[in-house]
Amino acid sequence: MEKLVQEMLDKGVLYDDARREFEKLFIARALQRSNGSLGEAAELLGLHRNTVARKIAEYRIKRAT
């Protein structure tokens, strides 16, 4: 993780952009692991399912069917 952060800083990636990309990928992987189940993904993430649903819409993440 340290190396990734260093590379991002070297490339001029801003904090907000990095945070959004990390959050989007983290949620997408939780959805994959839960086979698209919003409730299971929310549990994996430690978030309320409404928060996960809002983030899915915000980031336009596709859910597995």
We report the CATH number of the domain holding residue 7 as 1.10.10
Average pLDDT rounded to a whole number, residues 45-65: 93
- Asked if residue 46 is part of any domain, the answer here is yes
Confirm whether 13 is domain-assigned.
Answer: yes
**Domain-embedded: residue 15:** yes
Domain that holds residue 43: 2-59
Which band of pLDDT confidence, cut at 50, 70 and 90, is reported for residue 63? confident
Count of the separate structural domains present in the chain: 1
- DSSP letter string over 15-44? HHHHHHHHHHHHHHHHHHHTTT-HHHHHHH
Q: Would residue 64 count as lying in a domain? A: no
Q: pTM of the predicted model, to two decimals?
A: 0.87
Q: Is residue 20 part of a domain?
A: yes
Query: According to the model, what pLDDT value does residue 65 have?
Result: 59
Q: Could you report the per-residue pLDDT of 7-42, keeping only the tens digit for each?
A: 999 999 999 999 999 999 999 999 999 999 999 999
Asked, for residue 54, whether it belongs to a domain, the answer is: yes
